[in-house]
Amino acid sequence: MLKDFKYALVTGGSSGIGKEFALELCRRGLKVIVTGRDTKRLEELTEMAKDISDSSILTYTVELSSTDNVKAFIQDVSKYEIDLLINNAGFGLYGEFIELDLEEIEKMIEVNIKALTMLSHTFAKKMVERKRGGIINVASVAGHIPLPYFNAYAATKAYVYNLSIALWAELKKYNVHVMCVSPGPTETRFFERAFKGQNFKTFGNLMSPTQVALGAIEAFEKRKVVYIPGFKNKFVSFIGKKLLPDRTIAKFLAG
């Protein structure tokens, strides 16, 4: 599938899982458009990509919590035939719901849900016209269960999970494949950010962002609909979705 694709757009490619997605797509010869906010990291990524292949990498500095910025960005990149959209940018907030900063929660919803929805809507339409394309949405195993203290974050990822599967069912007749990736704890800047630099727990062994991104690309090539990297994460999802009632899990995890 990927060999027929021209451009890929990866949001949040300046670090972590998104960066690994971008580098792997370069290795596979796609032209890759990457967003991030940290210009220095985006420049470093461009340099790394140059060592991999001649295929160009285009970087855009975009704050995705601003609807106006997302609209302007969409207009800027609409000239490219984006065959693969990877909605990866996102962040989490850890803490008791009433103690979290409401403005931060709103920003998280803007990035994790609204920007993802706007990008998916715009580019899915174009893919359908071309009868070719794919979307990979990065959710989280947290989106498969109600998760106290990752309350609103987990809920944004439940949206991503459900939207992805609905879009898979709607768009398959147009040869547009939608897949949801639900990673568990992964070694990126995610936890440091979610815990705002305080002492943070990482919930067991972390997977590497490379493992997650490469596994996701392989799963996408096999037209999987939901990809959960790692046995432990698959097990958590199984318990959450099939074995125990939501309230039991939430009460247990709330401690």
Ligand X SMILES: NC(=O)c1ccc[n+]([C@@H]2O[C@H](COP(=O)([O-])OP(=O)(O)OC[C@H]3O[C@@H](n4cnc5c(N)ncnc54)[C@H](OP(=O)(O)O)[C@@H]3O)[C@@H](O)[C@H]2O)c1
Catalytically active residues are: 153
- The answer to whether residues 176 and 133 touch, using CB atoms and an 8 Å cutoff, is yes
**Stretch 203-232 residues interacting with ligand X (CB under 6 A):** 209
Report in angstroms how near the CB of residue 111 gets to ligand X at its nearest: 5
Report, in Å, the least distance between residue 34 CB and ligand X.
Answer: 8
Closest-CB residue for ligand X? Answer: 16
Angle between helices 151-171 and 102-109 (to 10 degrees): 10
**Which residues contact residue 102 at a Cβ distance below 8 angstroms, ignoring those fewer than 6 apart?**
none
Contact status: 116 vs ligand X (CB under 6 A) = no
Minimal distance, residue 11 CB to ligand X, in Å? 7
Which residue's entry shows tokens 């630099």? Answer: 197
Exposed / middle / buried, residue 11 (Cβ in 10 Å: 0-12, 13-18, 19+):
buried
Residue 37 in the binding site for ligand X (CB under 6 A): yes
Query: CB-wise, 63 or 221, nearer to ligand X?
Result: 63
User: Which of 59, 65, 122, 151 forms a contact with ligand X (CB under 6 A)?
Assistant: 65
Q: Which of 120, 118, 161, 124 is nearest to 139 (CA)?
A: 161
Contact set with ligand X (CB under 6 A): 12-18, 36-38, 41, 62-65, 88-92, 111, 138, 140, 183, 185-186, 188-190, 193, 209
